[in-house]
Chains A and B, each alone.
Chain A
Amino acid sequence: MAVEAEYSPDADRIMAVSLGPQHPGAGHFRIRLWLDGDFLVRASPDAGYVHRGEEKMAEYRNYTQNVPHLERPVILDSSNILLPYALGVDELMGNNVPPRAQFLRVIMSEANRIISHMYYLGILGIFVGHSTMIEWAMGDRDFWIDFAERIGGARVTFAYVIPGGVRNDIPPYAIEKGLKTCDWFDRRMNEYEKIFLKNPIFLERSEGVGVLSREDAIRFGATGTVLRASGVRHDLRRDEPYCVYPELDFEIPFLEQGDSWARAYVALLEMRESVKIIRQALKKLPPGSVRLKLGPQPRVPAGEVYTRTEAARGEMSYHIVSDGSPRPYRVKIGTPSFKNLAALPHLLKNVHVADIPVIYWSLNYWPVEADR
């Protein structure tokens, strides 16, 4: 085949191997590898095994009916995928979302960021053979899932963020419990740092592995932790503020190294900031209503919007076109995993086979989110 001849005059040396798609640890996704012994010459990602046509589905349902199915691609991060949709519909309708709802949107988004990052660090642990990390992360993640469940009423798919506000108010005991969870988690993260991120064995496996330079990260349109680990201080929570983020005090962590370790460490630093945000937002929560009454079939004027927010994995964007009818004319979901896909074949080049899992998962690529 032409691809093989491209890499070696001696085509016999190159072996084409398919990694996946039967859930190679992290989702239904295939990477085609061209190997020279233990050495990876080229890789080609093959997405689409979990494509469900969310964008076509959205054209058959009205703006309210779209809420529960649009969160399905990222059940770990379900509030963050709904937030730009809600912001987009609010913008089209000119909704003035009550302040309490805006605070609750932020609280839920940050809780989801922690839930998603915990999953990410846990799976990264098991990918490098560090089983303590997956046990700890999966166990502790449940405290945040409990926190989200007290607010949203479900463990992972809450359908909580809706156009016009949030679905329901936070019960008073959830605020108290949430503040306790924040205090406990602050201490807990120090232990993660010691046992996993500063662990010599993990450092050996991840430092200098899969280095993405600043220029390449920008050129390929990388986003989220991948971009910030490559030395770019870009976060839409600060750069294109939405909801009540300007009223809260938090930092945007970023690192210069651009390797797999930096991508993991940025995630931990971000969780620290998320805890800070949740604590402040829970304390500042203003009184008032949490949703506007839009009716079962909201009337959305004709128009076009492009909204984006910072989800756990990076920039989540929606392009919504309305023609004035009860259903959207077009909904385009731009997910961070899909945006990071272009960097994957660039990083999976001239590396050893043993480094593939670390590089692949350090990008925080979630196939379901990419395929939609």
Chain B
Amino acid sequence: MKERRLKVTAPLPEIKGLAAFVRDDLGFDHISAVSGVDWIAHHELEVIYFAGSVKEGWADFVVAVAERVARDNPVVPSLIEVWPGAEYHERETHEMFGINFQGHPDQSHLLLPEDWNDLPPLRKDYVSPGR
């Protein structure tokens, strides 16, 4: 990643503490986006929280808090308590990648139809119809 971008990671149990550190001590006060990546060759799913800041002088910096989990049981702690703005981003990542965010109040389908009955669509082993 280019300058003014920083990707940090921690073991799963400490991810909440890391996020709180990024928010309180570094001043990254809001979530800009939450992304997921399916690393199918490594049997892992990656969740990335892109945190931004509105503070003068730090507004061009993005800290990405990343975590990797096993593909067959993807459970990560929800970071809504740290960044309330992450609620809908996490809900989207949940339905698109099948990642379970522990502590999220509502993980029902947001963008997908309510009766979606297939693999989470952004996983690499889901093939779009007609492809």
Interface set of A (CB-CB < 8 Å, partner B): 46-48, 51, 53, 55-57, 60, 91, 218-222, 227, 232, 234, 236, 239-241, 304-306, 308, 315, 317, 319, 321, 329-330, 332, 334, 338-339, 341-342, 371-372
Q: How many A-B residue pairs have CB under 8 A?
A: 100
Of the residues B52, B59, B110, contact of A48 by C-beta under 8 Å: B110
Closest CB pairs A-B (n = 6): A221-B85, A334-B33, A239-B59, A240-B60, A48-B111, A332-B35
Main secondary structure, interface of A, reads: mixed
Nearest-neighbour CB distance to chain A for B112, whole angstroms, equals 7
Nearest-neighbour CB distance to chain B for A318, whole angstroms, equals 9
Of the residues A53, A218, A221, A306, contact of B5 by C-beta under 8 Å: A306
Whether B100 sits at the interface, judged by CB under 8 Å, is: no
Of the residues A218, A221, A306, contact of B1 by C-beta under 8 Å: A306
Whether B19 sits at the interface, judged by CB under 8 Å, is: no
Q: Sample 27 A-B pairs with CB under 8 A, ordered by A number.
A: A46-B110, A47-B88, A47-B110, A51-B112, A55-B122, A60-B128, A218-B29, A219-B29, A219-B83, A220-B30, A221-B83, A222-B85, A234-B54, A234-B59, A239-B59, A240-B60, A241-B60, A308-B32, A308-B62, A317-B33, A330-B35, A334-B33, A334-B50, A338-B88, A341-B88, A342-B84, A371-B111
Main secondary structure, interface of B, reads: mixed
Question: Which residues in B have their C-beta under 8 angstroms from that of A239?
Answer: 59-60
Q: How far is the CA of A205 from the CA of B61 in the complex (A)?
A: 38
Q: Determine if B122 and A221 form an interchain contact, defined as CB atoms under 8 angstroms apart.
A: no
The count of chain B contact residues (Cβ–Cβ below 8 Å) is: 40
Question: Which residues in A have their C-beta under 8 angstroms from that of B110?
Answer: 46-48
Question: Which residues in A have their C-beta under 8 angstroms from that of B126?
Answer: 56
Of the residues B37, B54, B59, B83, contact of A330 by C-beta under 8 Å: B37
In chain B, positions 47-102 with a C-beta closer than 8 Å to chain A are 48, 50, 52, 54, 59-60, 62, 64, 83-89, 92, 96
B95 to A, closest residue via Cβ: A48
Interface set of B (CB-CB < 8 Å, partner A): 1-2, 4-5, 29-33, 35-38, 48, 50, 52, 54, 59-60, 62, 64, 83-89, 92, 96, 109-113, 121-122, 126, 128, 131
